[in-house]
Amino acid sequence: MKRRSFLKKSAALGAGTLAAGAVAACSPSPVDPNSGKYKNVGASSSSGSQNSQPSIDLKMVTTWGKNFPGLGDRAVKFADDINTATNGRIRIRVYAADEMVPALQAFDAVSQGNADIYHGPDYYWQGKHPIFNFFGAVPFGLTATEMTQWLQYGGGQALWDEISSGFNIKPMLCNATGIQMAGWFNKEINSVEDFQGLKMRIPALGGEILKRLGATPVTLPSGEIFLSLSQGNIDATEWIGPWNDLTLGFHQAAKYYYTSGWHEPSASVCAGWNLEVWNTLSDSEKVIIEALAQKHYSYSLAEFNARNDGSLRTLINEHNVQTRQFPPEVMKALVDTAADVVADIGRTDDISRRVYNSYMETLAAAKEWSAVADEPYIAARRLSDKFGQPL
């Protein structure tokens, strides 16, 4: 692959630097003569040096509709923060799905150097390698906080870098939805047999699990789901949770809303950088970008948790949505099938086996600790409604 040159060159750079020096020499003293303290005169000489560098103009392609709440708008905020934190040196233009490339072609655009960054979940790229599912969402797998535990302390990031580098990608987490809902259905699911012949929009491993239980999984981008559901082309759909589902109006097309999202304990959204572009950045710029990605991962998780509850109350109280849970025997069939599907991927090749074993080691540890700490606490907190009411 040809190395892309993306630095803006300026023939007047040297003259601009000399001019900046002349201005600095003629500038008033930064010390306030009245107080004897330094004035706030803006950028220091070191930041001025940074600003004199050529700017970098990059393109981010996303898998989301323009300004889609929590996802499309989060991609824009991430890009804006990078611009601000680098004093305008790294400027990123964000393209929503279909503005530059279709949603499901974002990975190829970045891998091939036609775009610089993609913003989307890595399970969309399972056609490139099935192990990418592990860095997006694994049914009955790691939650959002457990995912960072694996990547940062369980060796997951090194494995992710290894598999992604083969596609000329540098990956990092930058968004999390939290535990999702199981989806919208136009009929109740009371037994495993009710999955027979069901056409459901559900991607990745969740789709494969339902396929083995007799359903027909369909992959659709967000912009096509409502029409397909309302016209009866699909019988059910999952998307994310109440906040986004209310925005898309799924309650107008299906009656039953199931919880919880066994297929996606959290969608881990990735910022995938073209590796050649990433390697051209300075160490300080890389640190800034990775820190901002962690910020947006944390902020997005908090935002989804904050907004889902109110949106669910709106769906129930204003739109008469009926919430349901799958019966225990249905959940048992789903988790048993999930174990088989995920293990099959782990047997694909050497990197798959290493990712699988690393992931499952963290999952086992997380399950053990949450059984001791989180689960008893949450159960105890639910014993009374007396605590937790506003004054």
Mean pLDDT of 187-207: 96
φ, ψ for residue 33, nearest 5 deg: -65, -20
Pairing assessment for the beta strands 117-121 and 268-274 based on DSSP bridges: antiparallel
User: What pLDDT score was predicted for residue 53?
Assistant: 78
User: What pLDDT score was predicted for residue 36?
Assistant: 36
Q: With a cut of 60, say whether residue 198 has pLDDT above it.
A: yes
Q: With a cut of 60, say whether residue 15 has pLDDT above it.
A: no
**Range in 12-26, 89-103, 182-196, 280-294 with the lowest mean pLDDT:** 12-26
User: What pLDDT score was predicted for residue 155?
Assistant: 98
User: What pLDDT score was predicted for residue 23?
Assistant: 30
User: What pLDDT score was predicted for residue 39?
Assistant: 34
Percent of the chain with pLDDT over 70: 87
pLDDT band at 51 (very low <50, low <70, confident <90, very high): low
pTM of the model: 0.84
Q: With a cut of 60, say whether residue 221 has pLDDT above it.
A: yes
Mean pLDDT of 284-296: 98
Three-state SS for 305? helix
Q: With a cut of 90, say whether residue 48 has pLDDT above it.
A: no
pLDDT band at 214 (very low <50, low <70, confident <90, very high): very high
Q: With a cut of 80, say whether residue 87 has pLDDT above it.
A: yes
Question: What's the rounded Cα separation, in Å, for the pair 11 and 51?
Answer: 16
* Structure confidence by residue, pLDDT tens digits, 118-144: 999 999 999 999 999 999 999 999 999
Give residues with Cβ within 8 angstroms of 296, minimum separation 6: 74, 77, 78, 81, 174, 175
User: What pLDDT score was predicted for residue 54?
Assistant: 87
**Range in 40-44, 72-76, 165-169, 286-290 with the lowest mean pLDDT:** 40-44
Question: What's the rounded Cα separation, in Å, for the pair 270 and 169?
Answer: 11
The DSSP secondary structure of 183-208, one letter per residue, reads EEESS---SGGGGTT-EEE--HHHHH
SS3 sequence, 377-391?
Answer: HHHHHCCCCCCCCCC
Mean pLDDT of 226-238: 97
One fold for 55-178+267-303 and 183-265+308-373: yes
Q: Which CATH architecture has domain 55-178+267-303?
A: 3-Layer(aba) Sandwich (3.40)
Percent of the chain with pLDDT over 90: 82
User: What pLDDT score was predicted for residue 52?
Assistant: 63
Tokens of 174: 């930058």
* Structure confidence by residue, pLDDT tens digits, 327-354: 999 999 999 999 999 999 999 999 999 9
Mean pLDDT of 174-180: 96
Per domain, the residue ranges of the chain are 55-178+267-303, 183-265+308-373
The domain defined by 183-265+308-373 folds into D-Maltodextrin-Binding Protein; domain 2 (3.40.190)
Q: What is the DSSP letter of 59?
A: E
